[in-house]
């Protein structure tokens, strides 16, 4: 099984610039004016251009203001401070302080399209430190 990540955005070129600058992803295939594949993570990320106000899941209109969604994505990094600086410079918004947890250091972000992300630098034991 493979998982593909699809992320709706209202401005494909702006989203492409953000994800390349913030997380170091690389453009792959382009799908006309409606999508672009980003490579460089364990799973490809597909940015899909969908206009604000167009119909989304559950017939809800798409809204690119900051929103909560039951799924968020973690970007695992070696150096949290460097990764955070890069993401902020690209246009991410930091939401709260960096937290030190048994599994590592983590910080929450929002991208320019309202989606929630975390940057995560695992401790040597990672999730084994909290596994029961």
Same fold: 1-53 with 65-132: yes
CB 55 within 8 A of CB 61: yes
pLDDT value of position 121: 97
Please state the domain extents for the chain. Answer: 1-53, 65-132
Domain formed by 1-53, architecture = Roll (3.10)
Encode pLDDT of 100-118 as tens digits.
999 999 999 999 999 999 9
CB 15 within 8 A of CB 9: yes
Structure tokens at 11: 């401005």
pLDDT for residue 1 is more than 70: no
What mean pLDDT comes out for the span 5-27?
A: 95
Residue with tokens 């939401």: 95
Encode pLDDT of 22-54 as tens digits.
999 999 999 988 899 999 999 998 999 999 999
pTM of the model as a whole = 0.83
């Amino acid at each position: 099984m493979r998982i593909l990540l699809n992320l709706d955005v209202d401005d494909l070129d702006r989203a492409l610039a953000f994800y390349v600058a913030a997380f170091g992803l690389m453009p792959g295939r382009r799908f006309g004016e409606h999508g672009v594949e980003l490579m460089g993570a364990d799973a490809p990320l597909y940015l899909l251009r969908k206009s604000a106000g167009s119909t989304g899941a559950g017939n809800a209109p798409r809204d690119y203001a900051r929103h909560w969604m039951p799924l968020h994505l973690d970007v695992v990094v070696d150096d949290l401070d460097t990764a955070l600086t890069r993401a902020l410079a690209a246009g991410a918004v930091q939401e709260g302080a960096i937290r030190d947890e048994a599994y590592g250091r983590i910080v929450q972000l929002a991208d320019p399209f309202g989606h929630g992300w975390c940057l995560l630098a695992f401790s040597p034991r990672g999730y084994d430190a909290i596994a029961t």
